[in-house]
Amino acid sequence: MIMLAKNSYGKSRVRLAKVKRHPDRHDFREWTVEILLEGDFESCFVEGDNSKILPTDTMKNTVYSLARTSSAECIEEFGKELLAFFLDRNPQISAARVTMSAKAWEHLHTGGTPHPTAFVEASAECQTAEVAAKRNEAPAIRSGFENLAILKTAGSEFAGFIKDSLTTLPESTDRLLGTSARARWKYSSPGVPFVPLRSKIREVLLNVFAGHASKSLQHTLYAMGETVLRNVPEVEDIELTMPNKHFLLADLSRFGQDNPNEIFVPIDEPHGTIEARLRRQG
């Protein structure tokens, strides 16, 4: 016997830009939305009966319509609004998940002051959020960021590792440590102050990265996550993914020159990948 085990469907890469016009300035946001629904859709898959299917084009339209009246100041709040909208209007839906990302647009500075209506994309970093819930249950919210490029030129070493017949990497007690970090953390409640907590968590992570006496990227990753959990009680767990973007010391000896740890060759590929999830015990 064949049965439909699990299924979901929805709309991905729905791009939304919103301008909030104040008398003295404008605010600009650019968000990307993905909506996935689970529920009583077996008749569509098995029999081709679409009577319980909300078109994905309607999901796209919902994003723009809801954005027009929404007062949400962050992707977490807008995700909660979308989730409630779909669950309230569609009894055939048993669970829904909204995943969002936000680009880092900031006011452009001219003459040393922020321009009220001109913007610049600050970096490749983007904020992320996932809001998911089953019907009649409170939503679970994970926030985070990705593509955060960070680097330190001191306070990092890598030594004492396994050496076998294929090992060519020399030990280092003073190396460059660079990564493009991704973080995701789960909040203990759907009603926390998302904007200030996001800023606090990001600041904690960056402060630890900068000041940690690193024995390895694993060592620093753990210290970053541990410090968040110790200092932000609203966070239940945190996942960190930190590729090790290598900087290889350039050999200048063939040119009759020394290299006192100053000239490097950046290597994007291949790179190491370090990831871990930390949570409180009990």
CA atoms of 94 and 73, how far apart (whole Å): 27
> What are the domain boundaries of the chain?
9-137, 148-279
The number of beta carbons lying within 10 Å of the beta carbon of residue 79 is: 27
* Contact (Cβ atoms closer than 8 angstroms) between residue 87 and residue 133: yes
Q: Which residues are catalytic?
A: 11, 56, 246
pLDDT tens track for 55-100 = 999 999 999 999 999 999 999 999 999 999 999 999 999 999 999 9
Burial of 260 (0-12, 13-18, 19+ CB in 10 A): exposed
Q: Provide the strand spans (E) within the chain.
A: 9-21, 26-39, 93-110, 113-134, 140-152, 177-187, 235-249, 264-279
Mean pLDDT of 185-204: 97
Q: Tell me the pTM.
A: 0.92
**What pLDDT does residue 278 have?**
98
List the Cα angle 170/171/172 in 5-degree steps. Answer: 115
Encode pLDDT of 268-282 as tens digits. Answer: 899 999 999 999 887
For residue 220, what pLDDT is reported? Answer: 98
Per-residue pLDDT tens over the stretch 123-182? 999 999 999 999 999 999 999 999 999 999 999 999 999 999 999 999 999 999 999 999
What is residue 83's predicted lDDT score, i.e. its pLDDT?
97
- What number does CATH give the domain 9-137? 3.10.270.10
- The residue-averaged pLDDT of 19-28 equals 96
Q: In this structure, are residues 217 and 241 in contact, taking their beta carbons and an 8 Å threshold?
A: no
Averaged pLDDT, 238-244: 97
Closest CA to 92 of 125, 123, 135: 135
pLDDT for the residue 281: 85
Q: What is the pLDDT of residues 202-236, one digit of tens each?
A: 999 999 999 999 999 999 999 999 999 999 999 99
pLDDT for residue 20: 95
Instruction: Note the pLDDT of residue 58.
Output: 98
CATH topology of domain 148-279: Urate Oxidase (3.10.270)
- Residue 86, CA distances (Å) to 49, 52, 56, 93, 96 in order: 20, 13, 12, 8, 8
DSSP code of residue 165: T
Residue 244: HSE in the Cβ half-sphere, 13 Å Cα cutoff: 21
- Quick one: angle between helices 56-69 and 75-89, nearest 10? 120
pLDDT at 71: 93
What value does the mean pLDDT of the chain take? 96
